[in-house]
Amino acid sequence: MKTHTPKLIFFLALSLVTACKDNTSITPIDKSSKSVSPIQISHTFSTGAQPKNVIFVIGDGTGINQISALEFYKEHHVYYDDFPIVGLSKVSSTSLITDSAAAGTAMACGEKTFNKAIGVDAQGNDLPNLIELNEQLGGANGLIATSSITHATPACFYAHHNDRNDHEIIASFLPKSSVDFFAGPGLKYFNNREDQVNLIDTLKANGFTIETTNLKAYPEAQKVGYLLADKDMPKMLHGRGSFLIDATQMAIEH
């Protein structure tokens, strides 16, 4: 496993984390830029040490309304309140309302694009994403989702396509992607496809060990993929259990 640069691990689920509070600086940038953020943020760790891992948590579909509702529910403490920086950004190039594809592309690739776009710019050209850039630096990459691994948000971190609804096409990008570890549902887009192609075999041919029943550990495998449901993982109320916690720990240790 590559270890000399930070491992990127992406969670695509409703999750709450606390943020670092060392030395953080904020610099305004040109708002007319195609960049998705009105600020540039740099962070210096007080110890001078570099981070071992970079963990990017995405609460897909989570907005101010959901966060506020959680705060008002029995005056519940929300960990978002502990973040030193909070910002809002419009990340669709064509619509006031952003869908998961345009938002995912903005987060994965740093550029605004049209709704439904997966890892491509407003003209349909492929955009480099964080996972690909980290691989070029020698880093390892993990991707975890409770939605299908081909859903718009996770797909933006490994695929390049103009329509989020083409799940089978999106799935075909994963075998040769820069992902080293993935866990989530979406099995049917790999082994029960309209084109009759078995992408499980393709994943294995590209060095993946694939598990479709549980989070069994494969410590000797260089690349591991878990496809544990046909389309989506069960909701917490319906028995998903500790999938996110367990998969995350496995990704960190892989």
User: For position 92, what pLDDT does the model report?
Assistant: 82
- Domain 7-253 superfamily per CATH: Alkaline Phosphatase, subunit A (3.40.720.10)
Q: 50 pLDDT exceeds 80?
A: no
User: What pLDDT is attached to residue 229?
Assistant: 95
**The pTM of the whole model exceeds 0.85:** no
**The token pair that represents 115 in the structure block:** 């709704």
Q: How far is residue 189's CA from residue 133's CA, in Å, rounded to a whole number?
A: 26
Diameter of the chain measured on Cα atoms? 54
The catalytic site residues sit at 100
* Residues 25/156, Cβ–Cβ less than 8 Å: no
Q: Each residue of 147-201: pLDDT tens digit?
A: 999 999 999 999 999 999 999 999 999 999 999 999 999 999 999 999 999 999 9
Mapping DSSP onto H, E and C, the string for 25-63 reads EEEECCCCCCCCCCEEEEEECCCCCCCCEEEEEECCCCC
What radius of gyration, in Å, describes the C-alpha atoms of the chain?
18
84: DSSP letter:
S
Lowest mean pLDDT among 5-19, 83-97, 203-217: 5-19
Domain boundaries, the chain: 7-253
Mean of all residue pLDDT scores within the chain: 83
59-111 tens-digit pLDDT: 888 888 888 888 888 777 788 788 887 777 778 888 888 899 999 999 999 99
What region, left, alpha or beta, does residue 70 occupy, with left being phi > 0 and alpha being psi -120 to 50 degrees? alpha
Q: What are phi and psi of 207, to 5 degrees?
A: 95, 5
Q: How many CA atoms within 13 Å lie on the side-chain side of 117?
A: 27
Q: Which residues have a Cβ under 8 Å from the Cβ of 114 and sit 6 or more positions away?
A: 92, 93, 94, 95, 102, 122
Q: How confident is the model at residue 25 (pLDDT cuts 50, 70, 90)?
A: very low
